[in-house]
Each structure stands twice: as structure tokens, then as C-alpha cells.
Amino acid sequence: MIDNLATGVGGFTSNTFLVQGDRTVLIDTGNGFDLVDAVSSHTDELDTVVLTHTHPDHIGNLASITDAFDVDVWGFDSSVSGVDRELADEATITIGDHEYTVLHTPGHKDDHVCLYGADPGILFAGDLVFENGGFGRTDLEEGDRNLLIESINRVLDAVSEDLGQLHVGHGPSVTTDPYETITLAYRAARM
């Protein structure tokens, strides 16, 4: 089961996905709302937090979550404050009931990763791509448009064309032809 705990939250925040199953995982923590209460309304225990990247809108609630649930935080760059364990490129991690492959996808931020579950047909894309062919900003520190284009292309090569769900860092998740959404983002980023 995947729930976006930031649904309906106003202000400067990211989506925050709670994935329940054999291993209950929170993907990104958002910013500026009571995430502890939101998690607690769904579960009493949290196994870990996984970060797609460490921009403030994705990690603002991190300290409150780690304090409340005493969990490790996994991210691509373990030298970043708050990250306890490194997610290496092409490593696998259990999220919910499935194995996900970590894809290092810089361009929006150097430590950005996507998480791809081949068996469930799910991609957590962070701020790499969005609904309707949108793509992550490259005008911030560590942003690089050419690198972002390479990262989107890498994701297109890695995921199945039958991808069933695309969960993004901002805006709605995509469940109707998500592979085409990634393709559109690739084309738009190249313009």
C-alpha cells in the first residue's frame, strides 16, 4: 500500500510516500507539516526513511521523524547531515513488499536517486520527472540540464514500457501510461 501523506498540504513541501508491507518505508519527509501525526495515523512503526535527494522541501520534517520513530535514513550521499546509510547506485532495497533498484539520477541535485521496482512496476522519481512531461529544475545549485537529460534517458532504459505507477516529488502520481510521461519529459528537457 502506498499513501502520499502530503496530499492536501499547502506550502513549500514535497510529496511524502508511506509504503507499507514487509518493510514500512517513508520516501522523503516533506517540509512544514505534522508528518509524525500523519505517519502515526497509518502505522505505529516505521522501518526506515529513504530520500530521493536532500533539497529542503524533501527533508524539512526529517528530524521530527527520526526523533519520533528512531529510524535510519538512507540516501545517496552519506556525508550529508541526517543521512545514516548510503544508497549506492544499482543497489537494491526492500520497500514495502518488493525489491527496488536504486538509480543515481543527478541533474536536479547531485545526490538525486530514483527507486525502481520491476516486479510491482513502480518508479519513485523524486524531482527527476513530473506529470505531463515536466522535469526537475536545473537552475539551482548542483543543477545541470545535460546531466538531467542523461538521467531521464537512463531511467527510460532501465524501466519497463509497461511501468504501472510513477510517483513523483511534486504533483499527482501518474498511473496512465507513466512510461510515456517519462518519454515526454525527456523530449521537453532536450528542447
Q: What is the mean pLDDT of the chain?
A: 97
Q: How confident is the model at residue 142 (pLDDT cuts 50, 70, 90)?
A: very high
What gap in Å lies between CA 66 and CA 179, rounded to an integer? 34
Q: What is the CATH number of the domain that holds 33?
A: 3.60.15.10
Q: Does the structure show a pLDDT above 90 at 108?
A: yes
Residues 51-71 pLDDT 10s:
999 999 999 999 999 999 999
Q: What domain range is 50 assigned to?
A: 2-190
Domain count of the chain? Answer: 1
Q: Which residues, in sequence order, are CB contacts of 180 under 8 Å at separation 6+?
A: none
The pLDDT of 156-179, averaged and rounded, is 98
- Closest among 85, 121, 79, 83 to 100, alpha carbons compared: 121
Query: pLDDT tier at 11 (50, 70, 90 boundaries)?
Result: confident
pLDDT at residue 10 greater than cutoff 90:
no
Q: What is the pTM of this model?
A: 0.97
CA–CA distance from 80 to each of 28, 74, 83, 84, 99 (Å)? Answer: 15, 11, 6, 9, 25
pLDDT(40) > 90: yes
Instruction: Note the pLDDT of residue 145.
Output: 98
Percent of the chain whose predicted confidence (pLDDT) is above 70:
100
Instruction: Report the percent of the chain where pLDDT is more than 90.
Output: 98
